[in-house]
Amino acid sequence: MDIQQNLKEVLADIPQQVRLVAVSKFHPKEAIEAAYTAGQRIFGESKVQELEEKYASLPKDIEWHFIGHLQTNKVKYIAPYIAMIHAVDTYKLLAEIDRQAAKAGRTISCLLEIHIAQEESKYGFSLQECRDMLDEGSWKGLKNIRICGLMGMATYTDDTDQIRNEFKTLHDFFLELKQKHFQDTDSFKEISMGMSYDYQLAIEEGSTLVRIGSKIFGERNY
């Protein structure tokens, strides 16, 4: 498994304005070190305990992104160093991130996870739940979080039209929220969508952050 070669090929495939989150969850730290040596700095993890161990033993200039479902009682462990949390799916979680970020003397970048897939198993706000939460306005009082955009996962299917439509839904919703709530907020600019099997479609539909794991590191060791 030539991780560095794989990374090079993926990067050659991604336009300059799109950032790569190398999804390193379930992979050993040696795999991360190989990608790090090749210049990669943004890594995505989805289990707090695994991230804690990796953070402790890997270079401190790595930008760690939390991309999995995050329980409120686990926020405190990663708040001191996490660069971005991709899957904020309740106001309660947003408020807890704010609370723990304040304790750590930081402002944490967050993405609101939107449920765009037809699969029930995916987390996230519905479009209306997200509209309601932002309209209600309490989030404006949270001074230690920065809402930087949206995240979504398309249905796992071979139907590229369906995947494209789901990504388009997310992009259109991003534009709606930008216009209504974040017009003067330069930091509201991220759309995290696209994984190893669908990132090309995601980029065509406006993704700014792609989360790619198996195409770089091979299949995961559960």
Q: Residue 99 is part of a domain; what is its CATH number?
A: 3.20.20.10
Domain count, the chain: 1
> Would you state the pLDDT for residue 221?
58
> Would you state the pLDDT for residue 118?
86
- Answer whether residue 222 is part of any domain: no
> Would you state the pLDDT for residue 219?
80
Tokens of 30: 């040696």
- Answer whether residue 45 is part of any domain: yes
Contact yes or no for 138/91 (Cβ under 8 A): yes
**Please, what are the averages of pLDDT over each run of 10 residues along the chain (222 residues)?**
93 96 95 97 97 97 97 98 97 98 98 92 90 98 98 94 97 98 97 96 98 91 53
- Answer whether residue 122 is part of any domain: yes
Domain that includes residue 14, residue range: 3-217
User: Scanning the structure block, which residue is given the tokens 């939107």?
Assistant: 114
- Answer whether residue 30 is part of any domain: yes
Q: What is the pTM of this model?
A: 0.95
Crossing angle between the packed helical segments 29-37 and 3-12, to the nearest 10 degrees? 50
Query: What is the rounded distance in angstroms from the CA atom of residue 125 to the CA atom of residue 89?
Result: 6
Q: Which residues of 49-165 form beta strands (DSSP E)?
A: 63-66, 84-88, 108-113, 145-151
